Amino acid sequence: MDSITLATLAAFPAQFEAHYGLIPASHKHWKPASWEGIPSEHLTAIEQLCHVRDIELEGYQPRFQRTLREENPLLPSLDTDALARDRAYYMQDAVRVLAEFRTARAKTVEMLKDLSPQHLSRKAEFEGYGQTTLKGLIHYLCSHDQQHLAGLQWLAGKLLPTAYD
């Protein structure tokens, strides 16, 4: 895999934590009156953290593993709303979630760092995205990361200026 994409994936946990830190503690559970324009799912700041952790552990890691083991597997999407509801994202501890995510991402980067061109060209059918390769899945993960950095920035921008006083 190219070094810039792997470096971006490896750097993401620190960036994500820093962006989460832009949201005042009093507003970690805040929901705007309208979600119009948000570049990520309609999730509060704490829910963004939980979602990214769960997508890493239950979405992308299994997708990578299946693509390496199986011939052209069908890789399902995960139901974000069901995960948020069933796991009570709003009640989770951010410090624990971020630690779990950092550990998961380090495992992902370790899994991907030495893949051969043959591994990267393995095909899969990704629900909602269509035919892709393992390399394509890696780029989708990188894109997903950026969507959630943007989601946290969007939430920060929507907060009333008094939230930062």
Structural domain range at position 137: 3-30+41-159
Report yes or no on 57 lying in a domain: yes
**What are the two backbone dihedrals, phi and then psi, of residue 91, each rounded to the nearest 5 degrees?**
-100, 0
Per residue in 28-72, pLDDT (tens digit) is 999 999 999 999 999 999 999 999 999 999 999 999 999 999 999
Here the CATH number for the domain that contains residue 134 is 1.20.120.450
12: confidence class by pLDDT, cuts 50, 70, 90: very high
Task: Check pLDDT > 80 for residue 16.
Answer: yes
Supply 3's token pair.
């070094």
Q: In Å, how far are 3, 27, 52, 74, 134 from 45, measured between CA atoms?
A: 30, 8, 11, 31, 30
**DSSP letters of 36-59?**
TT-SS-S--HHHHHHHHHHIIIII
DSSP helix, strand, coil percent of the chain (3-state; round to 5) = 65, 5, 30
**What is the count of structural domains for the chain?**
1
What is the rounded CA–CA span in Å between residue 66 and residue 60? Answer: 10
pLDDT in the model for residue 1? 80
Classify residue 49: in a domain, yes or no: yes
Residue range 74-90: mean pLDDT, rounded = 96
Whether 36 is covered by a domain: the verdict is no
